[in-house]
Amino acid sequence: MAEKGAILIVLGPRVQGVGFRGEMKSMADKLALVGEVRNLSNGRVRAEVEGEKDKIEQLREWAKTGPESAEVEQVLCFWRPFKGKFTEFQVK
């Protein structure tokens, strides 16, 4: 069984491109990850993700560029212990 983990991903200070959160959900669903992604009032995007660590790493790498139309300036990642907090991936 693969090792489980959790990560907090903060993108910004700006993320340009329509549909970033929806594309992140699609990618998370493909990787069987759970959590949530939301826009913050300061223009950043915040995602909490749980699942198999190797799959989380794939999503983290994807987030550096996002979908084709996106421009991501910065990606900050903070690994956390797995808590089983989520049952699906949601866009908030």
Q: Catalytic site residues? A: 21, 39
Predicted confidence (pLDDT) per residue in 3-60, tens digit: 999 999 999 887 776 688 999 999 999 999 999 999 999 889 999 999 999 999 999 9
* DSSP at 3: P
Helix axes 53-63, 20-30, angle to 10 degrees: 150
Domains of the chain, each with CATH number or no CATH: 4-87 (3.30.70.100)
State how far the alpha carbon of 19 is from the alpha carbons of 28, 39, 68, 78, in Å: 14, 11, 10, 23
Distance in angstroms (rounded) separating the CA atoms of residues 52 and 14 = 28
pTM for the structure as a whole: 0.91
